[in-house]
Amino acid sequence: MIVGERVRLRPIAEGDWETLEQWASTREGLWGTYQRFQLDHVGRLRELFEAGAMLSRSAGFLIVELVADGRPIGFVRYGLTTFPDADLPHPEIGYGIADPRDRGQGFATEATRLLVGYLFDGYATERITAVVDAENTPSRRLLERIGFGLEGVMRRAWFRDGAWRDIALYGLLRGEWQA
């Protein structure tokens, strides 16, 4: 368990599936407005959970819960990406706060900081990457707030809501994090 001031990160437990299914019952819940809404997301997560692949050296999906009352409010995730160099993969991260009423309070920022600290402390990596929909201003601000820099925009790189969308590529180097 990784504990911060207001949130903690922990592995998914068997008892979390009802909450995850509730979050995934609407587009706004589990993935949010700027992600593709696909009905098989929770099923795929369940398959990974049952295979013991939700927390490993190469990938992780952690529940974000409030320290005050233990209520799950979202998730953080990471996976090793082989882009641009398959010989030297590095972590790529994602995050989300499921209930819109819990958004805008800094929980995702704190949870993402905890995740980034964990990854730099536990991995011999020089960088961490995040990829976000270029229209997702709240997510872009979060990344910039914790030190990520915009490294580029891939035009028309993913398909969402019937249209091709741009994605923004962000990166954070170890030295930038330590500063």
Predicted confidence (pLDDT) per residue in 113-148, tens digit:
999 999 999 999 999 999 999 999 999 999 999 999
Instruction: State the pLDDT confidence band at 39, using cuts at 50, 70 and 90.
Output: low
Q: What is the mean pLDDT of residues 9-18?
A: 92
SS3 110: helix
Task: List the Cα angle 76/134/95 in 5-degree steps.
Answer: 5
Instruction: Output phi, psi for 7, to 5 deg.
Output: -130, 160
Chosen CATH of 2-178 out of 3.90.1300.10, 3.90.950.10, 3.40.630.30, 3.40.1710.10: 3.40.630.30
Distance CA 34, CA 159 (A): 11
| The pair of three-digit structure tokens given for residue 174, joined into one six-digit string | 């170890």
Find the radius of gyration of the CA atoms of the chain: 16
Residue identified by tokens 């990854």 is: 119
Q: Any idea what the Cα angle at residue 26 is, between residues 100 and 72, rounded to 5°?
A: 50
Per-residue pLDDT at 33 exceeds 70: yes
Instruction: Read off the pLDDT of residues 62-101 as tens digits, 9 standing for 90 and up.
Output: 999 999 999 999 999 999 998 888 888 999 999 999 988 8
